[in-house]
Amino acid sequence: MTETSTGDSPATPALLATPGAPRRRALPAFRSNLTTAVAFAISAGISAAVEWWMLIYFDQSVDLSGSELAVCRAVEILLGLFGVAAVFYGLLAVNRAIAANRLAAASDPASARVRAEDARDAMWFVVGLGLTALIVAFIAFLLGANDGALRSVMFDFTFMWKGHNALLNAFWLNIKIFAVTQVLVLVWALLVAIVRLLPGRACAPVRILAIVYTDVFRGVPAIIVIYLVVLGFGLARVPGFDSMSKDNQIFWLAVLALTLVYGAYVSEVYRAGLESIHWSQAAAARSLGLSQWQTLRHVVVPQAVRRILPPLLNDAVALQKDTALTSIVGYVEVLGAAQLLKNKYFNLSPVFGAALFFLVITIPFTRFVDYLLKRDKQRTQGGS
Amino acid sequence: MKFRSTVLTGAALALAVALTACGSSSGSSAKPENSGSKAPATKCTGPADAYLKTVGSVESFKPITADTLTVVTSLPGPGFFEGSDDDPTDITSGYEYDIARAMQKAFGLNNLVIRNESFDSITAGQATDYDLALSQISITCERAEVVDFSMPYFESNQGVLVRTGTEVSTLAEAKEVQWGVQTGTTAIDLLDTIKPSKSPRVYQQLPDGYTALEAEQVDAFLIDTAINLGQAARSGGKFEVVAQFEQPGGPDQYGAIIPKGSANVGAINAVFKQLTDSGEIKALATKDLTADPGNIPVITIK
């Protein structure tokens, strides 16, 4: 250790301590991180051992043969490599720390600090790898527990495959409900939001009506609204719906129920968007001679919608999932179909299969929303 | 580093997902591997193979809770559990309730506890901590793989409940109506045979199905004739049972469900045998199930 310093303020970033800075501070003490690296390497070894034990436990629950067993073993070994990699990086960290010590001893403080920093980097990678390995192996452990019971009651792909046609046909109904409802929601919610923002005493009654609507329908669980609307409107023989065919009736009642619920949510999103447009925009538009309606149509709404696109898509994802709630009123959409299969095979795997259908739609959707958010952030805060 | 980490984490998760596929060897049977190992030696082809015929001694009965007979059922059960549609502590009469009482007496227990469970969780063997389930459960081979059945105590066809005035008297008419059924019941299997032109609506709960019938969202509700007769009797003339199906494999036979592998089957069968031999079980049916299914017109399925 050739470098000397007080080492009393290790939190001070070394970069600030450049010569000529107004308040010069001493560099933090040089640390090779060797002890920590050794500790991390040992932990990596332990976690790898635990991981392998869990994987072997899983392997014992597997009842396969031939090429299937080979594939399965390959997957297990690949997972096991995460533990091995953690150990490798642990040893790498130790190696780098030793090198840092050596460089420090050879009076090369700059290189020593770089090496020590490399060691730290490898150490944290050990933590990342080790934790991932442990968590994933724990999943394997759960799947293997009780002779693979969880796997055979929930994740049996033969049952999923047996029902894939029924599930696919049923999922088409979910898509239809979603598509129609989403369009209606976008229109209806914008209307509610605009009404809620109408100025003056003259519009107060409708404004209050809009507030009551959003409060009520945001406050009531969607499943209750669906239950009440679909069965209630049917029982009450509500005109318009009553003359429809049975298939149309239940479809449009389900659409109506979901529109009411999601209209309330989305109108709040719209309102936030509309209110985020600075009042000077509207003022400028009005002073140019645009009417209230023209101001909304050409100035406020276009800017607001662009701003709220991500939360709108978020609500679309939620709506897509909530179409499964319509199974409560006897609609055989994907969840209903999955439950039929579940009762046929006494196995929950078809229900898990239904979940996969939703994931196929919602995961790309949410990734897209994330992308939009990121782009939006870059555009508004990145500073070009 | 960030990219590398993302790829690695993604790979780890993908591998974990791949693990779920391990162990589900293709062509595995419909039987969960974790169920009891008391599989019947012969292949099950109908109700007659699906229930356990062992008759033991009544004294060998061991209740799950001391001095208490715990019976699960799926409410409502018009005619079978009367007194309440949702609160099992309010049940005071009914065919299956009377059987439970007789059983409690035969076993010399002081308490009878009725518990409400969903129908499909009972038949799928998911319900736990009970002595027996009496819930108008038809004995089937599929169910027998996950639960044990006692000997049958009742026979029932599938009956057609409609709003008063609706006609369903032929198989052709049965193909055209919008059916409603309850999930997990044998009515679904029967509709698979009938092959109606409109896909049936499936309800999680029996009362929802009856509400949908009233709301004209279904034309006809299919479940065991005795259950539908009970509902028709309560509806104040709104509903009626217009037909019942004669199934190719004979009528459904009700059996008590006993948790898979339970040692109580012999004792429970012994009581059923006593009740049948003494004619008491017939007398209870006449007392509790007012409408006689024998008077309902029959539609034969070939």
Number of Cβ atoms within 10 Å of the Cβ of A136 = 25
**With bands split at pLDDT 50, 70 and 90, how would you rate the model's confidence at A95?**
very high
C-alpha span between B207 and B76 (Å, rounded): 8
In sequence order, what are the beta bridge partners of B42? none
Q: Is the dihedral of CA A197, A202, A206, A212 positive or negative?
A: positive
- The full length of chain A comes to 384
Interchain pair B208, A336: CB under 8 A? no
For chain B, the distance separating the N- and C-terminal CA atoms, rounded to the nearest angstrom, is 69
* pLDDT at residue A260 is higher than 70: yes
**With bands split at pLDDT 50, 70 and 90, how would you rate the model's confidence at B161?**
very high
- The 10s digit of each residue's pLDDT in A61-79 is 887 777 878 888 888 888 8
A333 near A326, Cβ under 8 Å? yes
- Please list, in sequence order, all residues whose beta carbon lies within 8 angstroms of the beta carbon of residue A383, skipping any fewer than 6 positions away: none
* pLDDT at residue B193 is higher than 60: yes
Count Cβ atoms within 10 A of the Cβ of residue B159 and give its class: 0-12 exposed, 13-18 middle, 19 or more buried.
Answer: buried
C-alpha span between A135 and A141 (Å, rounded): 10
C-alpha span between A297 and A303 (Å, rounded): 10
- The 10s digit of each residue's pLDDT in B276-289 is 999 888 888 888 88
* DSSP annotation of A46: H
**With bands split at pLDDT 50, 70 and 90, how would you rate the model's confidence at A23?**
low
Best CA proximity match to A66, nearest among B27, B30, B31: B27
**With bands split at pLDDT 50, 70 and 90, how would you rate the model's confidence at A15?**
low
* pLDDT at residue B80 is higher than 60: yes
State residue A67's pLDDT score: 80
C-alpha span between B22 and B15 (Å, rounded): 11
State residue B11's pLDDT score: 82
**With bands split at pLDDT 50, 70 and 90, how would you rate the model's confidence at A254?**
very high
What per-residue string of b and e applies to B44-79 under the rule 16 or more CB within 10 Å gives b? beebeebbbeebeebeebebbeeeebbbbbbbbbbb
* pLDDT at residue A5 is higher than 50: no
- Please list, in sequence order, all residues whose beta carbon lies within 8 angstroms of the beta carbon of residue A215, skipping any fewer than 6 positions away: none
- Residues of B within 8 A of A136 (CB-CB) are 12-13, 15-16
Q: Is the dihedral of CA A85, A86, A89, A94 positive or negative?
A: negative
Largest Cα separation within chain A, whole Å, is: 92
- Using only C-alpha atoms, chain B has a radius of gyration, in whole angstroms, of 22
- The 10s digit of each residue's pLDDT in A105-117 is 888 888 888 888 8
A300 near A281, Cβ under 8 Å? yes
Residue A69, H or E segment: helix A66-105
SS3 A102: helix
Interchain pair A330, B180: CB under 8 A? yes
Q: Which one of B5, B33, B124 has the shortest CB-CB distance to A152? A: B33
C-alpha span between A360 and A7 (Å, rounded): 54
State residue A94's pLDDT score: 92
- The 10s digit of each residue's pLDDT in A219-247 is 999 999 999 999 999 888 888 888 888 88
Residue found under tokens 């959003």: A214
Best CA proximity match to A58, nearest among A137, A123, A122: A137
Mark which residues 193-232 of B lie under 8 Å from A by CB: 198-204, 208-209, 211-212, 214-219
Q: Mind giving me the DSSP string for chain B? A: -HHHHHHHHHHHHHHHHHHHHTT--TT--SS-TTS-S---SSPP-SHHHHS------GGG---SBTTEEEEEE-S-BTTTBBS-SS-GGG--B-HHHHHHHHHHHHHT-SEEEEEE--HHHHHTT---S-SEE-SSPBP-HHHHTTSEE----EEE-EEEEEETT----SHHHHHHS-EEEETTSHHHHHHHHH--SSPPEEESSHHHHHHHHHTTS-SEEEEEHHHHHHHHHHTTTSEEEEEEEE-TT-SEEE--EE-TT-TTHHHHHHHHHHHHHTTHHHHHHHHH--S-GGGS-EEE--
* pLDDT at residue B40 is higher than 50: no
CB of B45 less than 8 A from some CB of A: no
**With bands split at pLDDT 50, 70 and 90, how would you rate the model's confidence at B3?**
low
- The 10s digit of each residue's pLDDT in B131-146 is 999 999 989 888 888 8
Best CA proximity match to B204, nearest among B184, B224, B231: B184
CB of B1 less than 8 A from some CB of A: yes
Amino acid identity, residue A134?
L
State residue B2's pLDDT score: 61
Best CA proximity match to B12, nearest among A101, A298, A131: A131
Count Cβ atoms within 10 A of the Cβ of residue A23 and give its class: 0-12 exposed, 13-18 middle, 19 or more buried.
Answer: exposed
State residue B137's pLDDT score: 92
> Of the ranges A238-242, A254-258, B252-256, which is most confident?
A254-258
Interchain pair B1, A125: CB under 8 A? yes
- CA A213 to chain CA mean position, Å: 29
State residue A382's pLDDT score: 61
Residue found under tokens 């002073």: A287
Span B56-77, mean pLDDT?
91
Does pTM surpass 0.80?
no
Which residue in B5, B24, B119, B211 has the most chain A C-beta atoms within 10 A of its own C-beta, making it the best mutation to test that interface? B24
CA dihedral B208, B214, B219, B223 (to 10 degrees): 50
Token duo for residue A108:
């090369």
For residue B76, say if its preceding peptide bond is cis, omega within 30 degrees of 0: yes
In sequence order, what are the beta bridge partners of B179? B220
Interchain pair A79, B19: CB under 8 A? yes
CA dihedral A113, A114, A119, A124 (to 10 degrees): 110
Q: How many pairs of residues across A and B have Cβ atoms under 8 Å apart?
A: 163
- The 10s digit of each residue's pLDDT in A323-342 is 999 999 988 899 999 988 88
CB of B21 less than 8 A from some CB of A: yes
Span B186-206, mean pLDDT?
90
Range name among A107-111, A211-215, A281-285, B9-13 with the lowest pLDDT average = B9-13
Interchain pair A249, B217: CB under 8 A? yes
Question: What phi, psi does A25 have (nearest 5°)?
Answer: -120, 160
State residue A19's pLDDT score: 56
Interchain pair A346, B184: CB under 8 A? no
State residue B105's pLDDT score: 92
Question: What phi, psi does B138 have (nearest 5°)?
Answer: -75, 140
SS3 A6: coil
State residue A72's pLDDT score: 84
State residue A24's pLDDT score: 65
- The 10s digit of each residue's pLDDT in A271-322 is 999 999 999 999 999 999 999 889 999 999 999 988 898 899 889 999 999 9
Interchain pair B24, A157: CB under 8 A? yes
C-alpha span between A104 and A83 (Å, rounded): 32
Span B77-87, mean pLDDT?
87
Mean pLDDT across chain B: 85
In what side-by-side order are the strands of the sheet with B239-246?
B201-203, B179-182, B220-224, B158-163, B239-246, B298-300
C-alpha span between A342 and A352 (Å, rounded): 10
% of chain A beyond a pLDDT of 70: 93
State residue A8's pLDDT score: 46
Number of Cβ atoms within 10 Å of the Cβ of A266 = 27
Give the residue on A whose Cα is nearest the Cα of B182.
A330
State residue B39's pLDDT score: 45
C-alpha span between A167 and A161 (Å, rounded): 10
- The full length of chain B comes to 302
